[in-house]
Structure 1
Amino acid sequence: MSSRRWLQADGVFLTAVGVVQVFQEFLAHFAGKGMLAVAFEQSPYTIGFVEAHALAATIGFLLIRFSDAPDVRFWHLYAVLVHAILGGANLLFWDSFQVFGFTAMGIVATALHGLFIVGNAVRYGKVKGGGHAA
């Protein structure tokens, strides 16, 4: 997969999951409905999840927008760092997934963050200077 397509796929992942999660978190917090209602109905902990997922969606949009930028190498490194933060937080606070009953979602999300770390790191290494990989 080309460097451009990889960044687009990464951006679609972050944006789609971020938007869906924020919607589910709002629905759960304010209406007590949806798959997250048990964990987030009127919970003060919802704020951290909303912030993380809204930022992920915003960052995903940036990856899509700048996937064909002349300095694409920067965006691969940026994506590595973003996924290292998100995946690392998942691992560091793994017990949160268990407490809230989200273990399966945590496994999938953390594995995908790992995949995008590796994929972006490989493409970062292949890109010469600031341009696109051949």
Structure 2
Amino acid sequence: MVREVISPAERQALYETYRYSAAIRSGDLLFVSGQVGSRADGSPEPDFERQVKLAFANLLAVLTAAGCTLRDVVDVTTFHTDPETQFETVMAVKQAVFGEPPYPNWTAVGVTWLAGFDFEIKVIARIGAAER
């Protein structure tokens, strides 16, 4: 099966610098790399809630570049540097983003390092799933 690289145009330099793809389309599946709350210059957004919102915005940009929406997302993995104190904020943003059921499945993982970030999200989406 052919793998197609998906990248939003405005963040292409980031992916070229670090030599990875924003997402890979394989058949009708889209595998999105971890998205963080980075500003346009690549630096972390210091306010945690804004960092989480920006990570979701960056995720949406990748999904849009692939012709997907958040309704196409079937699997979510999030990474947190301090899950105990961050959980409520993440849940509030996640609820605002994903809205109504059916919700994608979700795994949250506590980590000690995210290259200066405090939150990261990666997903798998089925392209065109929202239309079915």
Q: TM-score, normalised by structure 1?
A: 0.29
Select the structure of larger CA radius of gyration.
Answer: 1
Greater fraction of residues in helix: 1
Greater fraction of residues in strand: 2
Q: TM-score, normalised by structure 2?
A: 0.29
